Amino acid sequence: DAKTTQPPSMDCAEGRAANLPCNHSTISGNEYVYWYRQIHSQGPQYIIHGLKNNETNEMASLIITEDRKSSTLILPHATLRDTAVYYCIVRPVGTNAGKSTFGDGTTLTVKP
Amino acid sequence: DADVTQTPRNRITKTGKRIMLECSQTKGHDRMYWYRQDPGLGLRLIYYSFDVKDINKGEISDGYSVSRQAQAKFSLSLESAIPNQTALYFCATSDFLGTQYFGPGTRLLVL
């Protein structure tokens, strides 16, 4: 699986958009970008995933660059409850999904 | 009820003891995983299973073994626990598409 690079930490003001970047310059054509978050040592929670088109769900939006070498997770109106560690992972759908590893992620702190 | 459950949630044991961590899921997924997390770090894959007859080592399988008793159950064993196995352990499941769903974790302390 392609490796990812994320900043170790970011701050965001409550109510503002949180934009979390991820670099995955070695991503392969059949690999998806997944985002998870982990709130205070709880089990990681799935947020969103995408292949090459931008995606949006009730939690967040995912913007993937045209060359697919980087992506940005957007939390449109961050709340204090969004304070967590956010993990960006790339993996092929279906085969070999189990080989995915989680890097150290980005610790997002939402401040009042 | 939670889709992925882990027992026990907390465990203290002594060096050299054998312990088993259990995971059950009600999502009907074929794929199950065990991860370990050390303080301040990401999750590392210990073992994974794509169906009942399939077991695969992850990146840190030494000192661990697993058993897939049924589609819904996947247990992790430490044959002879050592202090550097003190960590937070997570079980996860996924369908063929790969989106993973995690349990609440087991906090293990080896003295």
Burial call A49-66: b when 16+ CB within 10 Å, e when fewer: bbeeeebeeeebbbbbee
Measured distance CA(A36)–CA(A42) in Å, rounded: 12
Whether chain A has a CB inside 8 Å of the CB on B41: the answer is yes
Task: Encode pLDDT of B17-31 as tens digits.
Answer: 999 999 999 999 999
Chain A residues with CB within 8 Å of chain B CB: 32, 34, 36, 41-46, 49, 87, 91-94, 97-105
Please give the Cα distance from B103 to B107 (Å, whole number): 12
Q: What's the rounded Cα separation, in Å, for the pair B110 and B18?
A: 11
Tell me the pLDDT tens digit for each residue of B67-94. Answer: 999 999 999 999 999 999 999 999 999 9
> CA-CA distance, A11 to B92, in Å (whole number)?
29
Query: Is residue B72 helix, strand or coil?
Result: coil
How sure is the predictor about B1, in pLDDT bands with cuts at 50, 70 and 90? Answer: low
Q: Which candidate from A49, A93, A102 shows the least CB-CB separation from B43? A: A102
**Cis-peptide into A7, omega within 30 deg:** no
Using CA atoms, how far apart are residues A37 and A78, in angstroms rounded to an integer?
14
Q: What is the pLDDT, as a whole number, of residue A70?
A: 96
pLDDT (tens place) for every residue of chain A, 112 residues total: 568 999 999 999 999 999 999 999 999 888 899 999 999 889 999 999 999 989 999 999 999 999 999 999 999 999 999 999 999 999 887 666 656 778 889 999 999 9
Nearest to B44 among A44, A97, A101 (CB): A101
Residue A83 and residue B78: Cα distance in Å, rounded? 33
Instruction: Using CB atoms, pick whichever of B43, B92, B98 lies closest to residue A91.
Output: B98
Beta strands at B100-102 and B43-51: parallel, antiparallel or unpaired: unpaired
Q: Are strands B106-110 and B10-13 parallel, antiparallel or unpaired?
A: parallel
Q: Report the C-alpha gap between A95 and B1 in whole angstroms.
A: 29
Supply the DSSP string of A92-105, one letter for each residue. Answer: ESSTTGGG------
pLDDT at A1: 59
